Amino acid sequence: MNETFIALLGICSWDVLLCQGYIKARMKSEEKRRTRFHSGHVPFSGIKTYVDPDTYEDPTQAVEEFAKEIDPSYICIERVIGAGEFGEVCSGRLRKPGRMGIAVAIKTLKGGYMDQQRRDFLREASIMGQFNNPNIIRLEGVVTKSRPVMIVVEYMENGALDSFLRTRDGQFTVLQLVGMLRGIAVGMTYLSDMGYVHRDLAARNILVDENLVCKVSDFGMSRVLEDDSEAAYTATGGKIPIRWTAPEAIAYGKFSSASDVWSYGIVMWEVMSYGERPYWEMSNQDVILSIEEGYRLPAPMGCPVTLHQLMLHSWQKESNQRPRFNDVLSFLDKLIINPSGLLTLVNDVQR
């Protein structure tokens, strides 16, 4: 190993000797990874980038690399809390030896699945396992070596953001709502910095914990949107949640962090309207046509002008005219530090 590199790492050669077994093992897995045909993410640039599990010849290797295997005897399933495309979603506890038990959500893969279904199911774990951010749902690990196959994630007491807001209409201050939006912007800034495009950012895919912290979830479906009841087939055969999706992504599949910003603007509107359905009962086709004609969602009742302006900015037709997630985040931070920018509500201006 190169001396300068060792010096840069700030470790003495004795440590290197001790660590060599580990480093060799690590290099071996790194080499194995690079011999696969994914798009060469630079491990020494200092910026961690997302690795698409689909670029692994064998997707089970991606799961092994990014998700910890959990001994099923550590998991105690308590109740069913929902149904996913692949099977039930349960709540329960994870008790690792020597650690405090924690509340978890457990996604299970129902029996009788095909190999491809197992791969699609575990794809979410190999994506989530690459992320480490307070506003991204945390993967605890997977159970793959026994049945049922499971994905274990942190439990979020208040469930999905859309239904949470619908049951608490009008109960939060504007500053609390902006705090939720800030959390989502932190998570999305992290994802876009990692080079990950979500494609299905919507309030239904944000989870809320007991302290109102919002975390981005639902990663498995970023390519195949089978599990989202909002996703509709387009003329070109893609399945897309039309009301949340930027026009260039609907028209010619150009998904990017800029199209995620468009979706973020829709999430802002959902939050400020306490879970109202974007474009109400309009049909998907009418939504597409109206957007094309320049129509945009009006400000929800009681929404500060500044926030509606940010929404309109994120719904610019030209994707390069939209703010980036870090711009959104610093804008919200400024509003939180100096909330006088939240005092003028749209209704006041209209009056």
One symbol per residue from 93 to 112: x for binding ligand ADE (CB under 6 A), - otherwise; what is it?
A: ------------x-------
286 given a catalytic annotation: no
- Counting contacts by CB under 6 A, is residue 213 touching ligand ADE? no
Nearer to ligand ADE, 70 or 156 (CB): 156
Nearer to ligand ADE, 216 or 311 (CB): 216
The reply to whether 218 sits in an annotated binding site is: yes
Q: Which residues lie closer than 8 Å to 98 by C-beta, 6 or more apart?
A: none
Q: Which residues lie closer than 8 Å to 43 by C-beta, 6 or more apart?
A: 30
CA angle, 179 as apex, 176 and 182 as ends, to 5°? 155
H or E element: which one contains 232?
strand 232-233
The reply to whether 169 sits in an annotated binding site is: no
**Min CB(231)–ligand ADE separation in Å:** 18
Q: Are strands 232-233 and 139-143 parallel, antiparallel or unpaired?
A: unpaired
* Cβ atoms within 10 Å, residue 121: 24
Among 6, 50, 102, 159, indicate the residue that binds ligand ADE (CB under 6 A).
159
Nearer to ligand ADE, 108 or 192 (CB): 108
- Counting contacts by CB under 6 A, is residue 81 touching ligand ADE? yes
Nearer to ligand ADE, 82 or 134 (CB): 82
- Counting contacts by CB under 6 A, is residue 89 touching ligand ADE? yes
What CA–CA distance (Å, rounded) separates 190 from 325?
9
Question: Which tokens sit at 283?
Answer: 């049909």
The reply to whether 68 sits in an annotated binding site is: no
Query: Segment 173-212, which members bind ligand ADE (CB under 6 A)?
Result: 207
The reply to whether 204 sits in an annotated binding site is: yes
What CA–CA distance (Å, rounded) separates 241 from 205?
12
How far out from the chain centre does Cα 189 lie? Answer: 10
Q: Which stretch binds ligand ADE (CB under 6 A): 31-39, 50-58, 148-156, 323-331?
A: 148-156
Query: Segment 118-137, which members bind ligand ADE (CB under 6 A)?
Result: 137
- Counting contacts by CB under 6 A, is residue 345 touching ligand ADE? no
Of the residues 162, 200, 228, 260, which is catalytic?
A: 200
Buried b (16+ CB within 10 A) or exposed e, 26-48: eeeeeeebeeeeeeebeeeeeeb
- Ranked by CB distance to ligand ADE, the top (closest) residue is 105
Question: Which tokens sit at 324?
Answer: 């980036």
- Counting contacts by CB under 6 A, is residue 77 touching ligand ADE? no
Nearer to ligand ADE, 207 or 335 (CB): 207
Is 79 buried (19+), middle (13-18) or exposed (0-12) by CB count in 10 A?
A: exposed
Question: Which tokens sit at 205?
Answer: 């895919």
- Counting contacts by CB under 6 A, is residue 346 touching ligand ADE? no
Binding site: residue ranges? 107, 204-205, 218
Q: Footprint of ligand ADE on this chain (CB under 6 A)?
A: 81-82, 89, 105, 137, 153, 155-156, 159, 207
Q: Which residues are catalytic?
A: 200
